[in-house]
């Protein structure tokens, strides 16, 4: 009798979380449509539907399918990748300050991308200006970004293994790693010519307009197995949340789980940074918003972070395109302007506390 | 049930445990006692497979523990660490449901949830099933962790200082609960500092001093000389209503 009551309460509790996920999914679709309609050239809902039906005008089709849609998909995939990576890093390190940016992984990936362009010749400049970097070899750039992000990732794991993953240790290591890779990037600037210099600046602030369909396909190919892996391991991350010894006693190989999780989260981060540059705060703030809204059960946190991250990036992208229209701001600037005060707010309210008591 | 066969262990070259042997029988409730640094916690962690012995073997039903897969072992043996706070909040239900981990591949099923709710009811935690465990008292939290161990359906439960940081009432509640569980056939091994609590509730005792096994057996092994020798404290032992109490008097 009592057992039934507890079960009913629990299924009601999880139903609310599922409802949240569905609401966010619907929200993303709505925001994506709104985003499709926003821009300097006036394209109405009807025109858009015509384009989707294959009956649109040439100019509309060009703008929607070659400019706006890739940008929207880039926002969704990047937001999702960074947020899920952030949530996983927080759980793996049992540390609320974990995120690709705070741990220095984003900076390392940006250095790797700049390294590939300048030293390995994977990209070239067409004219000058920050939006004219031509990526000749996106595979090489992603690979280089990934390899350098792994360097930062191993640094973190090394410190965590030797000194424990305390908030202080992690954040200090993150600051050191960020500074190191920023210095290395600056070093590249020192030896670069004007054109290469513009290419480096390009990676230091994230901009979604750089990617095209080719980049999106690469990103999708990387992110699909990454997400499957993370979702599959959500129970293991739950076990890690309750402490190393508890997780071990439940049969979780914590060292392997940490190592793989960090490497895979770094790969997801590299897939974003290598194409669009550093997008700060998304990976840190979004998981905390989700933790407050639906709690920290990884089974819901990870998909919740994916959806909320996508929605957050879509909104930031809309703001980037509209605040000083027709000029388009790099979205990385917007995520910082929106994300930093939001994080301070969460900090004041108490990180990790949740309304689901 | 579980046997220690001449096990030794060292941390960075320091021998922490030396040549320990003991058979833990089914349904026994054993207290591992000894001063700080005597190796109690290390012993519990060795038995749990978190650490591997340097020499000797730990046998579970005559099978060397090193040969049992960790997830299979987790279906036989549960571990309750010292009470700690979660970094991220979790509800009581989710915490106990986590005990089903060794049985779950991807997501918990209907049976896992039903089992969890029956454990919650059994331990009187059903009213706080959806509360955040970080907001509970230490006593309640310890109960939740014991519930999580029970959700593993183990034959053996190992606990490290289960009564540390608990007030008097909760200390006795937790020990009485463990005694009850041992009466149902679960083998229970605890590392514990409080001699009187151990004497009241446990059936077997194992005393360690500087990594050596000094004594083992039931209540009759506890003598004034033994306690004074190990703890370097002058004590008086009194017996009242069939119970033994150790009263520390002054350091020797």
**In a domain? residue B29:** yes
Q: By C-alpha distance, which of B208, B105, B104 is closest to B153?
A: B104
Task: Report the range out of A26-35, A94-103, A191-200, A235-244 with the highest average pLDDT.
Answer: A26-35
**In a domain? residue A72:** yes
In contact, A317 and A71? CB cutoff 8 Å: yes
**In a domain? residue A46:** yes
**In a domain? residue B229:** no
**Closest-CA residue in chain A for B119?**
A3
Residue-range definition of the domain harbouring residue B200: 1-76+155-223
**In a domain? residue B232:** no
In contact, A283 and A99? CB cutoff 8 Å: yes
**Contact B113/A10, CB-based, under 8 Å?**
yes
Same domain, B189 and B160: yes
State chain B's maximal CA–CA distance in angstroms: 59
* pLDDT (tens digit per residue) in A76-114: 999 999 999 999 999 988 888 888 888 889 899 889 988
Is B50 within 8 Å of chain A by CB? yes
CATH of the domain at B54: 3.40.50.300
CATH of the domain at A127: 1.10.3470.10
**In a domain? residue A4:** no
The average pLDDT across A36-54 equals: 81
Same domain, B7 and B61: yes
Label residues A81-98 b or e (16+ Cβ within 10 Å = b).
bbbbbbbbbbbbbbbbbb
**In a domain? residue B236:** no
Q: Break chain B down into helix, strand, coil percent, rounded to 5.
A: 35, 30, 30
Chain A contacts in chain B segment 191-210 (CB below 8 A): none
Q: Does the pLDDT at position A134 exceed 70?
A: no
A167 falls in which pLDDT band (50, 70, 90)?
Answer: low
Same domain, B165 and B143: no
**In a domain? residue B242:** no
The domain total for chain A is 1
* pLDDT (tens digit per residue) in A283-321: 999 999 999 999 999 999 999 999 999 999 999 999 998
The average pLDDT across A45-72 equals: 83
ipTM above 0.90, yes or no: no
**Contact A13/B121, CB-based, under 8 Å?**
no
d(CA B144, CA B165): 15
Same domain, B147 and B159: no
Q: Does the pLDDT at position B36 exceed 60?
A: yes
Cβ-based burial of A193 (10 A; exposed 0-12, middle 13-18, buried ≥19): exposed
Is B111 within 8 Å of chain A by CB? no
CA distance A250 to chain B (A): 5
Same domain, B56 and B87: no
**Contact B129/A9, CB-based, under 8 Å?**
yes
**Chain A environment of B69 (Cβ under 8 Å):** 251
Residue-range definition of the domain harbouring residue A48: 13-349
pLDDT at A139: 78
The domain total for chain B is 2
CA distance A230 to chain B (A): 11
**In a domain? residue B171:** yes
Same domain, B1 and B66: yes
Mutate which: A160, A164, A246, A288, vs B, most B CBs within 10 A: A246
The average pLDDT across B51-76 equals: 90
**Contact B130/A354, CB-based, under 8 Å?**
no
**Closest-CA residue in chain B for A9?**
B130
Backbone angles phi, psi at A44, to 5 degrees: -85, 175
**In a domain? residue A111:** yes
Examine the fold and report which residue of B138, B153, B168 is the final residue of a domain before the chain moves on.
Answer: B153
Same domain, B190 and B213: yes
In contact, A286 and A340? CB cutoff 8 Å: no
d(CA B116, CA A154): 38
Same domain, B48 and B168: yes
**Chain A environment of B117 (Cβ under 8 Å):** 3-4, 6-7, 10
**In a domain? residue B85:** yes
d(CA B200, CA B192): 12
Retrieve residue B87's tokens.
């970094």
Q: Does the pLDDT at position A355 exceed 50?
A: no
d(CA A42, CA A54): 19
Same domain, B19 and B117: no
**In a domain? residue B165:** yes
Same domain, B45 and B82: no
Share of chain B above pLDDT 90, in %: 70
**In a domain? residue A55:** yes
The average pLDDT across A163-187 equals: 84
**Contact A296/B90, CB-based, under 8 Å?**
yes
**Contact B88/A96, CB-based, under 8 Å?**
yes
**In a domain? residue A3:** no
Same domain, B89 and B207: no
Same domain, B63 and B49: yes
Q: How many CB pairs under 8 A join A and B?
A: 121
Is B90 within 8 Å of chain A by CB? yes
The average pLDDT across B222-239 equals: 91
Share of chain B above pLDDT 70, in %: 100
Is B49 within 8 Å of chain A by CB? yes
Cα angle value B236/B242/B247 (rounded, 5°)? 20
Is B46 within 8 Å of chain A by CB? no
Backbone angles phi, psi at B63, to 5 degrees: -110, 130
Which residues in chain B belong to E strands, given as ranges? 2-11, 14-24, 29-33, 55-60, 63-64, 77-80, 156-160, 187-191, 204-209, 212-217, 233-240, 243-251
pLDDT at A354: 46
Chain A contacts in chain B segment 146-175 (CB below 8 A): 148, 152
| Contact residues, chain A to chain B, C-beta under 8 Å | 2-7, 9-10, 13, 90-91, 94-96, 232, 235, 238-239, 241-243, 245-246, 248-253, 291, 295-297, 299, 352-354, 356-357
Sign for the CA dihedral angle at A173, B84, B71, A86 comes to negative
**In a domain? residue A5:** no
**In a domain? residue A228:** yes
Which of A251, A353, A356 is opposite residue B71, by nearest beta carbon? A251
CA distance B84 to chain A (A): 9
């Amino acid at each position: 009798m009592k057992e039934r009551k507890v079960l009913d309460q629990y299924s009601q509790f999880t139903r609310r979380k599922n409802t949240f996920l569905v609401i966010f999914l619907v929200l993303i679709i709505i925001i994506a449509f709104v985003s499709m309609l926003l821009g300097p050239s006036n394209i109405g809902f009807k025109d858009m539907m015509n384009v989707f039906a294959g009956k649109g005008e040439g100019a509309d089709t060009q703008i929607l399918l070659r400019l706006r849609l890739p940008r929207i998909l880039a926002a969704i995939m990047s937001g999702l990748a960074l947020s899920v990576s952030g949530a996983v890093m927080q759980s793996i390190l049992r540390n609320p300050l974990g995120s690709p940016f705070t741990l220095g992984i984003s900076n390392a990936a940006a250095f790797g991308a700049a390294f590939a362009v300048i030293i390995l010749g994977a990209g070239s400049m067409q004219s000058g200006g920050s939006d004219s970097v031509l990526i000749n070899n996106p595979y090489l750039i992603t690979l280089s970004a990934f390899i350098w992000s792994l360097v930062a990732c191993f640094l973190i794991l090394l410190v965590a293994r030797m000194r424990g993953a305390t908030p202080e240790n992690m954040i200090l290591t993150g600051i050191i790693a960020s500074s190191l890779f920023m210095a290395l990037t600056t070093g590249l600037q020192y030896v670069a010519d004007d054109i290469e210099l513009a290419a480096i600046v390009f990676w230091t602030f994230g901009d979604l307009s750089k990617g095209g369909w080719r980049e999106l396909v690469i990103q999708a190919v990387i992110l699909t197995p990454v997400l499957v892996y993370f979702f599959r391991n959500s129970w293991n991350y739950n076990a890690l949340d309750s402490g190393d010894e508890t997780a071990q006693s439940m049969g979780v190989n914590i060292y392997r789980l940490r190592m793989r999780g960090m490497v895979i989260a770094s790969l997801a981060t590299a897939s974003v940074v290598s194409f669009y540059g550093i997008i700060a705060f998304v990976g840190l703030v979004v998981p905390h918003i989700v933790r407050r809204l639906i709690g920290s059960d990884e089974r819901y946190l990870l998909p919740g972070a994916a959806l909320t991250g996508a929605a957050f990036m879509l909104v930031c992208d809309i703001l980037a395109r509209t605040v000083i229209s027709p000029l388009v701001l790099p979205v990385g600037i917007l995520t910082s302007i929106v994300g930093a005060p939001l994080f301070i707010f969460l900090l004041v309210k108490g990180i990790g506390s949740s309304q689901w008591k | 049930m579980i046997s220690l066969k001449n096990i030794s262990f060292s941390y960075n070259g320091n021998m922490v445990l030396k040549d320990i042997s003991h058979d833990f029988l089914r349904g026994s409730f054993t207290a591992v006692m000894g001063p700080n640094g005597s190796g109690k916690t290390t012993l519990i962690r060795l038995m749990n497979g978190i650490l591997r012995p340097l020499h000797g073997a730990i046998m579970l039903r005559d099978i060397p523990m090193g040969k049992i897969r960790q997830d299979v072992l987790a279906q036989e043996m549960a571990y309750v660490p010292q009470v700690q706070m979660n970094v991220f909040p979790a509800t009581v239900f989710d915490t106990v449901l986590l005990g089903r981990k060794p049985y779950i591949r991807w997501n918990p099923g209907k049976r896992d949830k039903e089992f969890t709710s029956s454990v919650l009811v059994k331990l009187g935690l059903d009213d706080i099933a959806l509360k955040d465990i970080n907001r509970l008292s230490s006593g309640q939290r310890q109960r939740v962790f014991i519930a999580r161990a029970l959700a593993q359906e183990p034959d053996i439960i190992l606990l490290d200082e289960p009564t540390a940081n608990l007030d008097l009432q909760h200390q006795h509640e937790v020990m009485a609960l463990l005694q009850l569980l041992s009466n149902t056939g679960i083998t229970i091994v605890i590392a514990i500092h409080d001699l009187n609590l151990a004497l009241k509730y446990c059936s077997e005792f194992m005393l360690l001093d500087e990594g050596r096994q000094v004594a083992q057996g039931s209540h009759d092994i506890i003598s004034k000389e033994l306690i004074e020798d190990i703890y370097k404290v002058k004590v008086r032992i009194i017996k009242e209503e069939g119970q033994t109490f150790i009263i520390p008097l002054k350091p020797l």
